[in-house]
Structure 1
Amino acid sequence: MSTPTDANPELLTVVAHMRARDGRQQELRDALIALVEPTSREEGFVNYDLHQGVEDPDLFYLYENWDNAALLDAHLGRPHLTEFAARLPELVDDNGLTITRLRRIA
């Protein structure tokens, strides 16, 4: 099975993770799912894959690839993302959202 960086290792990979606040798992899940479709229409989008923990279903990860950092930054400023970001304090635990930008090296 291939990944997007097999064909283009210069893609900017992003891994974002967060844990739902107690009792907010379904709300967070729904809010994250709602981001997928509008994101898939953005310039620079390669993939935007949402995952939920198996052993810990309160844990969510996004695995993303973007053509470049400028297009990722544009994505982060889009209304669907800024509206989601405004809801983070009510949806995620006190550790918040962690976003890590990566570049494939092997």
Structure 2
Amino acid sequence: MKNEQPTVLVLFKAKAGYEEEAREVLRELVRKSLRDEGCLQYDMHEKPDAPGRFMLFERWASRELLSEHQEKEWMAEHGKKMGEVMAAEPEISFWTPFSGS
């Protein structure tokens, strides 16, 4: 991955009956992540016709700062909370802008 402002797209699915708990855990993730150095954008969305399905769109100033974010101690702790309310591991994909866009 180039060292250009990376974008991350993450898809989450809450366990049935845990949708509100998942929203709270995700709100906390957004609040904390927005404070991390290099975070340019961290937007959580919910699919209107599928409660409990969430999409995170995040942009970072550099790959290095994204890596630092992912390695934070609080992220590991947060991962445990996610495991309690999510039906599966998140689907994560990494993107970079291309010239001309």
Instruction: Give the aligned residue type for 2:91.
Output: T
Q: How far did 1:81 drift?
A: 1.7
User: How far did residue 24 of structure 1 move?
Assistant: 0.9
Contact 1:35-1:80 at 8 Å conserved across structures: no
TM-score where L is the length of structure 1: 0.82
Contact 2:38 2:61 in 1 (8 A): yes
Q: Is 2:27 the partner of 1:44?
A: no
Q: Secondary structure at the match of 2:57?
A: strand
Q: CA RMSD in A?
A: 1.3
Q: Percent identity?
A: 28
TM-score, normalised via structure 2 length? 0.86
Q: Quick one: distance in 2 between partners of 1:62 and 1:19?
A: 12
1:16 partner SS = strand
Structure 2 distance, partners of 1:57, 1:17, is 13
Residue 32 of structure 1 corresponds to which residue in structure 2?
26
Structure-1 residue corresponding to 2:13: 19
SS of 2:55's partner is strand
Corresponding residue for residue 69 of structure 1? 63
Q: SS of the residue aligned with 1:50?
A: strand
More displaced 10-residue stretch of structure 1: 20-29 or 82-91:
82-91
